[in-house]
Amino acid sequence: MCTERDPWLPHRLLRTERDLLMPLLRRTPEEAYGLRTACPGWTVRQVLAHCGAALVRIVEDRLEEGVFLPEANARDVAEREDWSVGRVLDELERGLTEAGPVIAERENGRLDAVALGEWVHAGDVREALGEPGAYCGAALDLALPLLSVTSRRRETPRLIGDLADRDGTVFLGNEIEGRPAARFRGDAATLIRIYSGRPLVRTRYELTGATEHELLIYR
């Protein structure tokens, strides 16, 4: 897997996720938006409000210091508590459509992880709604290369992953002198869960040479 940054990869991931997720959300009954997700304290509606707010901040260049810290995220969600579900979805669709080119223009790549996080949150929503494809699905081939780049940027240790449901091997994180690479054996969705700090209940995997905490890219 290539680990060099592709500036347009986040754009492709966001657009693909838009086309997959928005039809599902538009037909979801409104009462389902009150279901709890893997994000502590947040419902489906609140996760989507956070996602839309984060992406539109990128689009509108409202990226003041601390913008994506938990306190700022909570304020963005609180500001949307009185919005209709339709308005929340409209903002999310705008962000998924327009944020990619802005992220591509940032040569330092620091916003790439936001795009990956949006895709992970889509998995949170799918899981809460009981839909298949949480943390995998059709966009996984875009998410895995972005995870590779993000894991290096977030300075996680080197890991070699043998995925039971994908061809080839993934290489994540950075080599550390004197430390052998960690090894992972399991499915791709479980690997995503580990790196994004999602619940691992009912998963089956082998991880040697690193702890789950060391691999977290969102802390």
* CA–CA gap between residue 32 and residue 66 (Å, rounded): 31
For 166, residues 6+ apart whose C-beta sits below 8 A from its C-beta are 140, 144, 188
* CA–CA gap between residue 195 and residue 190 (Å, rounded): 9
Whole-number average pLDDT of the chain: 96
* CA–CA gap between residue 6 and residue 112 (Å, rounded): 10
Within 31-111, residue ranges assigned H as helices are 44-59, 70-79, 85-105
Identify the pLDDT of residue 168: 85
For 140-153, give one letter per residue: b (16+ CB within 10 A) or e. bebbbbbbbbbbbb
**Per-residue model confidence as pLDDT tens digits over 184-208:** 999 999 999 999 999 999 999 999 9
pLDDT band at 2; cut points 50, 70, 90: very low
117 touches 197 (CB < 8 A): no
Percent of the chain scoring above 70 in pLDDT: 99
**Mean pLDDT across 89-111:** 95
96 touches 88 (CB < 8 A): no
The closest of 164, 57, 157, 75 to 111, measured between CA atoms, is 57
Identify the pLDDT of residue 40: 94
